[in-house]
Amino acid sequence: MGKYLIKRLLHGAVSIIVVVALVMVMIYSLMERDRIFASDSMYTKVASNQRTVYCFTKWEEYGYLDLVTYAEYLAGLALNGEIDEETRSAASAIARTPEQDSKVVREYTEKFTQYYESQGYTVERLNAKTNGRKLVNGGQQQLFAHKDHPLAYRMWKYFTGLISIDNIHRVQEDIGERGLTFTLHDPVYGGDKFAPAIIGNGTVHKYLFYVDDTFPYLHQNFATINLGTSYSVNRGIDVFTTMTASQGPYVLSPVTFPTGLHEDSADDLHTATYQAGSREMNPVNADRFTDDYTNVLTEKGSMSKVGFSFVIGIIATTLAYMLALPLGILMARKKDKLIDKLGTIYIVFIIAVPSLAYIFLFKAIGGKMGLPTSFDLESGSKLMFVLPIISLALPSIANLMKWLRRYMIDQMNSDYVKFARSGGLSEGEIFSKHILKNAAIPIVHGIPAAILSALTGAIITERVYVVPGAGNLLTEAINKYDNGVIVGVTLFYAVLSVVSIILGDILMATVDPRISFSTKDR
Amino acid sequence: MDQDLKNLGMSEEELFSFHDHSDLESEKITAPRYSYWQSVFRVFFRKKLNIVILGVLVILIAFAYIYPMVTEYDRFGQVLNPNARHKSPMEAVEMFGLNIHWILGTGGAGQSTFDAIWTGAQISISLAFICAAINMTVGVVVGAIWGFSKKVDIFMMEVYNIIGNVPYILFISVMVMLFTASFWTMVLALTITGWLGIAYFIRTQVVIIRDREYNLASRCLGTSTIKIAMKNILPFMTSVIVTLLATEIPSYISYEVFLAYIGMGLTDMSLGRLIFEAESAMVTPGWQFEFWSPVAIASIITVVLYVIGQNLGDASDPRTHM
């Protein structure tokens, strides 16, 4: 069993990697990279040469290419001591066109061009765009070199960066003495209450371990999961955080900041990460924090995207199993009677009619009955869960009924049933003790998949009812051309489906003693 | 006894004459002539319901393909007439006179909803049939090879496990996102991995039938693999394939509707696109017709196709031909 499981898991891991690689190849090599700016407001604000440079900076940020500007090159030279500060500033002043360059500038631009072209970079010089003598908006002259990252390199980076381990050398800036401190009295709680915490300096996260009153109570930040950075859906935030962070209105609670400032704030100080120079840039941060660990997440009143999908999905799945099992059994027992025919009509309806059509039908009927038809995080009413749950449950009821009826009817003709009947058992006993046990095995196989697919959410249902869940995330990312999120969500889906198939097999083997995975027993 | 024979009107010699024995003649088996497809249709038409549903399907397809041809549908024909927008059937008939165009009211650009749904139905049905044709052909051929060859099986199982791990909808959405959503792009997106599930299904069926005794016997007698595949296995598969087709064709219409709804649909005014554009009309009093008409037509088409397919599948199972 153990050996078999390891083999299955390895197999699953390989298939996950292949799938993510496939999606990455499709997205990064087939899609025009300009499309990522489709819903970027900054892109429309900048113009002319500045827009070109903006694009290249963003592409570098999102892993498409490596970008070196002329200024960075000179700064690098100055840092290595190859040129002094005076030459640097003289050489950095490139003119509007190459012909107007001074001698120093020409010397260094040529060096820059030669060096980076020999490295396989493309060097681009954009001449100033002028309107008469005046520069047009964003029309300053630019000089930079860029080189596309090969896809294999991107994939390598992605997979190696999936889990990042925090350590005290992660922050590159000068931060004072690096190290980890263990304290029994977390300063966030005022320093008197017993609450163990590990605080780092030089790490990305300030709190590497802490205790609080939300599930799962003990939290760690040593290892974080990075599924990819979002561009347009949730700017600069990792997909995993996007899916698991709370949503909705801010929850204000009294917070004592490290400077001693008391304030009602939604900031969760435990989530502080390092942001270089943030206190200098923003006086609010200087008021609140004593170090540059200022980037905090905020506490919001509602569940996370995954949380919403999971709650709705779990209730719908439980409901579906609770209703579909008795109904399926009833249909099989009363085969070709009225109840069987009605059930069949329902199953045909669900299978044949486009799912969008019947979800809208439920929405219209529910709306007529006065149920809320769209999600509103502010209201906090529980009634808004009703329609999404019904819309999710009804199709899976049909599906379960269909299979359970099929399996039970198949079993009804088998020899052991005839034997049981000739032995004088009542029909009820035969059904509940003999047929159901055998027919339920394939149904049991699907339980983990049903529960885990609840995590990913139902794409259509969540969109129709505007549920802020995980299923909606994929369609939103696709609409906004957010590549990072698409890849991240793909990985998430792939992991869940691999895990659920394996879990289903294990569960089936536990329920049915005849099924065994170890080769010895066969 | 004698009396009875006399009544037949034949002399005794005629009734009881010697007949020469012929080896060739005695080999012949007298049985009613059996034609497979004739029996399929005989069983299919025995149910009155099937005739009715087939009639509905014929009317639907005729409308979808002939109606847009004979009437010039101009979506923006009345775009400049603000009074023509979002009319309920009653108002539209009152406004333009009783004409088949206006019996379902008008849409957001003053266009006839009735014309729009048939144009949309034509696109959606074409898409479904083309995708089904491609996927079924590739799927059945690949599935048959997959089922027969053990080497191919090892390789294809890996491919299936990998691709099957990802929701189909994800692949389609990414494909449609990458290319501009024209009709043929949609076909490509729906067929690029769509055949795999069918092939796997066929493979399982082939594996089940392949090692049955009658096939082993056939192989022992020296029948070629191709003949076994064509003569022994394919007839068994016909009903399975038809039943599969019955679920496949409506599913493409559903996929198209779904993709259009999440904003990844066709640029043509297919049924999905109509539903997507009229979504806001669902809750607006008096506008419901422009939303529910395409929904209803899409549902009717899929249900009709599904029921016919299922019943045809049942009828093509030789065990029902008795």
- Residue A446 in domain: yes
Chain B residues with CB under 8 Å of A12 CB are 165
Q: Does B275 touch chain A (CB under 8 A)?
A: yes
Q: Which residue has the tokens 């009783």?
A: B98
Classify residue A119: in a domain, yes or no.
Answer: yes
Looking at the fold, whether A358 and A313 belong to one and the same domain comes out as yes
> Which of B174, B283, B291 lies at the smallest CB-CB distance from A26?
B174
- Please state the pTM of the whole predicted model: 0.79
Q: Is B257–A348 a contact, with Cβ atoms under 8 angstroms apart?
A: no
Size of interface A-B (CB pairs under 8 A): 111
Q: Which of B166, B247, B295 sits opposite A357 (nearest CB)?
A: B295
Distances, alpha carbon B7 to alpha carbons A419, B11, B15, B17, B18, in Å: 56, 10, 12, 18, 22
The C-alpha of B23 sits at a distance from chain A's nearest C-alpha, in angstroms, of 45
Q: CA-to-CA distance for A6 and B182, rounded, in angstroms?
A: 45
What is the percent of chain B with per-residue pLDDT over 70, rounded to a whole number?
82
The sign of the dihedral angle between the CA atoms of A468, A474, A477, A483 is positive
Report yes or no: A216 at the B interface, CB cutoff 8 Å. no
Asked whether residue A417 is assigned to any structural domain, the reply reads yes
Check if A498 contacts B (Cβ < 8 Å): yes
Q: Rounded mean pLDDT of B154-170? A: 77
Q: Is A212:A219 a contact under the CB 8 Å cutoff?
A: yes
For the cut 80, the answer to whether the pLDDT of residue B120 exceeds it is yes
Instruction: Determine contact, residues A258/A290, Cβ cutoff 8 Å.
Output: yes
A233 found inside a domain: no
On whether both A50 and A117 belong to a single domain, the answer is: yes
Q: Distance between CA atoms of A448 and A503, rounded to whole angstroms?
A: 6
User: What are the C-alpha distances in Å from A136 to residues A40, A100, A131, A341?
Assistant: 22, 19, 6, 74
Domain contains A276? yes
pLDDT above 70: percentage of residues in chain A: 98
Cβ-contact B110, B139 below 8 angstroms: no
B202/A contact by beta carbon, under 8 A: no
Max alpha carbon distance in chain B (Å)?
96
Kindly indicate the confidence band of residue A521, based on its pLDDT and cuts at 50, 70 and 90. very low
pLDDT tier at A522 (50, 70, 90 boundaries)? Answer: very low
Chain A residues closer than 8 Å to B302 by CB: 352-354
**B303 with A349: Cβ contact below 8 A:** yes
Residue-range definition of the domain harbouring residue A340 = 305-483
A502 in a domain, yes or no?
A: no
- Going by the DSSP 8-state scheme, the letter that residue A149 receives in this structure is P
Looking at chain A from residue 478 to 497, which residues have their Cβ under 8 Å from any Cβ of chain B?
478-479, 481, 486, 489-490, 493-494, 497
Q: Is residue A170 part of a domain?
A: yes
3-state secondary structure of A37: helix
How many other β-carbons are positioned within 10 Å of the β-carbon of residue B307?
20
Query: A31-74: per-residue pLDDT in tens?
Result: 777 777 877 778 888 878 888 888 888 888 888 888 888 888 88
Residues A208-231: tens digit of each pLDDT: 888 887 777 888 888 888 888 877
CB within 8 A of B141, min separation 6: which ones? none
**Alpha carbons A447 and A318: distance in angstroms, whole number:** 10
Residues of A in contact with B179 (CB under 8 A): 30
Same domain flag for A188 and A278: yes
Is A343 a domain residue?
yes
| Domain edge (last residue) among A273, A298, A323 | A298
**A412 and A349 co-located in one domain:** yes
Asked if residue A459 and residue A355 are part of one domain, the reply reads yes
Mean of pLDDT over chain A: 82
A309 shares its domain with A283 = no
* HSE-up (13 A, CA, CB side) for residue A49: 18
The DSSP letter of residue A223 is E
Average pLDDT over residues A21-36: 81
Residues of B in contact with A14 (CB under 8 A): 162
* Same domain, yes or no: A334 and A461: yes
Please give the CATH architecture assigned to the domain spanning B38-73+112-320: Orthogonal Bundle (1.10)
Query: Does the predicted interface ipTM exceed a cut of 0.90?
Result: no
CB contact under 8 A, B303 and A497: no
Residue A149 pLDDT level (bands cut at 50, 70, 90): confident
Locate A43 and state its tokens.
């892109």
On whether any CB of chain B is under 8 Å from the CB of A374, the answer is no
In the predicted model, what is the mean pLDDT of residues B196-208?
87
Q: Are residues A289 and A315 in the same domain?
A: no
Radius of gyration, CA atoms only, chain A: 30
Do A19 and B163 count as a contact with CB atoms less than 8 A apart?
A: yes
- Enumerate residues 388 to 407 of chain A having a beta carbon within 8 A of any beta carbon in chain B: none
pLDDT of residue A127: 83
- Residue A146's SS3 state is strand
Considering the domain architecture, whether residues A174 and A279 belong to the same structural domain is answered as: yes
The greatest distance separating any two alpha carbons of chain A, rounded to the nearest whole angstrom, comes to 108
Greater model confidence, A490 or A190: A490
Same domain, A281 and A335: no
Partners of A195 in the β-ladder? A185
Structurally, how many domains does chain A consist of?
Answer: 3
Q: Hey, are the CB atoms on B306 and A479 less than 8 Å from each other?
A: no
Q: Are residues A171 and A81 in the same domain?
A: no
Q: Express each pLDDT in B271-314 by its tens digit.
A: 888 888 777 777 666 677 778 888 888 888 888 888 888 888 88
pLDDT tens-digit map of B178-193: 777 788 888 888 888 8
In terms of domains, do A142 and A177 share one? no
Q: Indicate whether B52 pLDDT > 90.
A: yes
